[in-house]
Amino acid sequence: MNGLEFTISRGMDMNRREMIGAAAGAMAMGVVTGGVANAADSEVICEACDDGCNTCRSTCLACVAECLEEVAAGKTAYAKCVQLCLDCADICGACSAISARKGPMTAIIAAACADACDKCAAECEKHDDETCKACAAACRACAKECRELAAAD
């Protein structure tokens, strides 16, 4: 047996490519998605969360760029906004990836993402500029979608 093959518990040999194909097929058939009883509702909720996370992530990164300019100009009050937006963007990226594949940790990451978005929005709402206001709105929308997904799982 070469390095690309392994034996599964039933004694069958399967190479990595076959295993990945089988896993992808199983996911496509819904064998490993589990969760919500109505698959159509689950799909809509997952897509809404994925879209919300992607929008929030890009808006947070735009906010980081703007707030870094403010910090460079001596407005240190924007430093916390930069930190929270970076964290929120990373968490949204992880939530988007996990919810898109309907992984077993979906509800956990969705709940964490909603909390991160709430904290980021609260900080952005302290600043009176359009970029921070847009970020806060995207974070609030994402938090709502993530909470729905966490509750549905």
Structural domain spans, the chain: 1-32, 38-152
- In the three-class reduction of DSSP (H, G, I as helix; E, B as strand; rest coil), residue 7 is classed as strand
Residue closest to 123 by CA, chosen among 140, 109, 110, 108: 140
Per-residue confidence band for 114, with pLDDT thresholds at 50, 70 and 90: very high
Residue closest to 111 by CA, chosen among 76, 142, 70, 66: 142
Mean pLDDT, residues 130-147: 97
Q: What is the pLDDT of residues 4-17, one digit of tens each?
A: 444 333 444 445 55
pTM of the model: 0.73
Q: What kind of fold does domain 38-152 have according to CATH?
A: Substrate Binding Domain Of Dnak; Chain:A; Domain 2 (1.20.1270)
Q: What is the pLDDT of residues 46-83, one digit of tens each?
A: 888 889 999 999 999 999 999 999 999 999 999 999 99
